[in-house]
Chain A
């Protein structure tokens, strides 16, 4: 039965899985801020997806399914490599300074640096919502936490980012959009 499933879905999924490679990399990078590790995590995610293709019952959920695999790959990486990065503990400020970046990407470098400082759970939550546009319910399923935890992590993450970035954004003349 499983072989029949693979036979049927592979051609259908090929384009969609390929389309997810870059978004997965972007997400992986936003979680670990290590280009090489992000590449490895994406490779491992795709291998596991190949391995478990038959487990995806709803093709519409391919993206969240892949993200859940990615989250588990990162968890496994930390488990293997070193003690798990605390989900709710603030990271020290990274070594790279905005001054070292070119003017064109200075904002991006600064924002990435502040996101990197967030605890892993908050970092994953805010990037799943902001980069991939997942609903809170989908993020809860991907990270295997209650929706209330998603909301509180998101709230804490944005509070931290607000305190560190809003003034910087204003200095950089980052356009604050009108909501009306």
Chain B
């Protein structure tokens, strides 16, 4: 920036945000000494910055009480130990056949499948994999347990009035008593706040949050798989 150049808005913002190099910073301060309008504009930017900060200073999560949070994260620390022994099988996407392939590798007998989306490309392969896994375990005489935890839009599959999978889930539950469905109460609360009626499919259980359930199960040695 030269001495004669007009101080741009970008430059003023960079000044109040501490993003100028030393030379430009010095030059701008000098200019403010003789330019009342510039001084005023920079003052206003700093006021806006303060206003923004103060506007959200009181924004706190109403659902996350400090004490339980500490306990929850203490469990997370323990979970890392469990991973080291049982294997960490969390994934971004569920490729066909992957659950079975990877579970065979660690001989897991308790798995938690986390479904956070109601999209067919997420739900369909997840349910198919779960069914194949349960079927294979039964044929081999192995005692296994599977828990499907749903939150966000994934909750839709467990809701009586929104699920496109109600019949399939009911058939699976009837065939495999060792299969459990868990709904996230935090998601349910949010749906209710928006005026939605949340009626769950028969047999669906509720956890305070999906995160709580996942961390609890992982601490108990379950293998976590994200669909």
Contact = CB atoms under 8 A, between A and B. Distances in A.
Interface string A84-122: 000000000000000000000101100110010000000
A178 B42 CA distance: 10
A63 interface: no
Given A10-B80, A30-B56, A47-B210, A2 B88 contact: yes
B226 A22 contact: no
Interface stretch (B7-15, B132-140, B169-177, B197-205): B7-15
Interface in A30-74: 30, 35-40, 42-44, 46-47, 50-51
A130 B80 CA distance: 35
A100 to B, nearest CB: 16
A153 B225 CA distance: 39
Contacts of A105: 58
Most A C-beta atoms less than 10 A away, residue of B19, B70, B80, B211 = B80
B59 A7 contact: no
Nearest to A17: B73
A80 B117 contact: yes
Contacts of B187: 40
B9 A43 contact: no
A14 B64 CA distance: 16
Interface size class on chain B is 35 or more
B48 A161 contact: yes
B142 interface: no
A21 B19 CA distance: 27
Contact of B61 (A6, A17, A38): A38
Given A17-B73, A18-B70, A30 B47 contact: no
A155 B10 contact: yes
Contact of A177 (B50, B117, B194): B50
Contacts of A29: 56, 59
A40 B45 contact: no
Contact of B153 (A42, A81, A162, A177): A81
Given A40-B151, A51-B226, A107-B54, A177 B47 contact: yes
Interface string A159-180: 1011001100100001011111
A108 B56 CA distance: 7
A135 B20 CA distance: 11
Contacts of A169: 47, 51
Interface of A: 2-4, 6-7, 9-11, 14, 17-18, 21-22, 25-26, 29-30, 35-40, 42-44, 46-47, 50-51, 77, 80-81, 105, 107-108, 111-112, 115, 126-127, 129-131, 135-136, 151-152, 154-155, 158-159, 161-162, 165-166, 169, 174, 176-180
For the complex of A and B, the 7 pairs showing the least CB-CB separation, nearest first, are A10-B80, A36-B190, A111-B55, A130-B52, A25-B61, A51-B90, A108-B55
